[in-house]
Amino acid sequence: MEQKVFNRRELIEPARLRMLSVRSNTRGLLQLFSQLAAIAVTTTLLALLWGSWWGVLPFMAQGILINCLYAGQHEMSHYTAFRSRWLNEWVGEIIGFFVIYPAKWDRWFHMAHHKHTQDWGKDPELLIRPPYTRWTWLLNMSSVLYWYGRIRSTLRCAFGKIPPYAWWLTATQPREVVAEARWYVAGYVLILLLSLWFRTPVALQFWLAPMFLMKWVHQFQNVGEHTGLSHHGLDTMRNTRTLTGPAVVRWLVWNMSYHAAHHTFPGVPFHRLPELQTTVMSAVKHPTPVASYLGAQREIAKLLSNRTRDPKVAI
């Protein structure tokens, strides 16, 4: 039986939590520019090797790197990527434009997700989809459903149609969501017109095609964080999964592989999550969900297989 009360204060001393929660412009900018530098390298290689089979690897790397910029936007939605509030907001908007995920909408959506993680009636991540079947899980892992939902949501907001499930928005926030989506769509139209005017495929070649076709790699993080875990209570040590992987993956996703620790103490910036992880996990009194990126999907596949025999299993 799951505990009814989840006491976070038992996991870490307040003084240590305050120390770990200190933000840093320097650490945030170093992380961001390291990823942008990597994108500059893959862009150069892709330009040099375009049209040959040797170009496949930089194409794949380009797409993975662009998609993983969202990890930085996610951190900025918490205002923890940088100490300066304006950096979190403006850099988040720039990334949001390039990954087609409006930053204000994402911030408010994501805060509601943190408050109501795995609650079928309130968690936005669950409100935008019914329980998975094996088919819809595979479609989402392939990124087909992801891109359909992302583009449809942005266009609908740009036309003033806020999704009816967005219960978490305040009275004034819908206007901001609509205005933001309109600026994004206007930017995309401008890029399209410039591409046609100059007859250049640069935007498609170095941005859109790699991003769209390689999103499936990033889905191992997105789908692995909560899928298949508890829908009862607010215990982030039971409804959120820690994902294990090599250092390069932790760098790509801004340490979001330590997702249970992040959900438990979302005010701790990405660069202190390894320390938070060690502290929190040593204090937890029960087993916690931990899996590799592939192992998490194997667990989900097994649960979905059981669901075909027991319809009450909803993930």
Average pLDDT estimate for 65-88: 98
Provide the mean pLDDT of the chain: 95
* Cross-strand partners of 244: 292
Q: Which of 224, 186, 237, 214 is nearest to 5 (CA)?
A: 237
Average pLDDT estimate for 25-33: 98
Residue 173 reports pLDDT greater than 80 = yes
From the centroid of its chain, how far is CA 30? 20
Average pLDDT estimate for 304-311: 69
pLDDT tens-digit map of 191-247: 999 999 999 999 999 999 999 999 999 999 999 999 999 998 889 999 999 999 999
Q: Which residues, at least 6 apart from 108, have a Cβ–Cβ distance to it below 8 Å?
A: 168, 169, 173, 177
User: What stretch of H or E contains 242?
Assistant: strand 242-244
pLDDT tens-digit map of 92-101: 999 999 999 9
At which residue do the structure tokens 């923890």 appear? 80
Q: Which of 200, 204, 206 is nearest to 61 (CA)?
A: 206
Residue 121 reports pLDDT greater than 60 = yes
Q: Which residues, at least 6 apart from 138, have a Cβ–Cβ distance to it below 8 Å?
A: none
Whether 223 contacts 141, CB under 8 Å: yes
Concatenating the DSSP letter of every residue in 34-101 gives HHHHHHHHHHHHHHHHTTSGGGHHHHHHHHHHHHHHHHHHHHHHTT-S-SSHHHHHHHHHHHHHHTT-
Residue 3 reports pLDDT greater than 90 = no
Residue 229 phi, psi (nearest 5): -105, 180
CA max distance for the chain:
64
Residue 244 phi, psi (nearest 5): -105, 140
- What value does the CA radius of gyration of the chain take, rounded to a whole number of Å? 20
Residue 267 reports pLDDT greater than 70 = yes
Percent of the chain with pLDDT over 90: 92
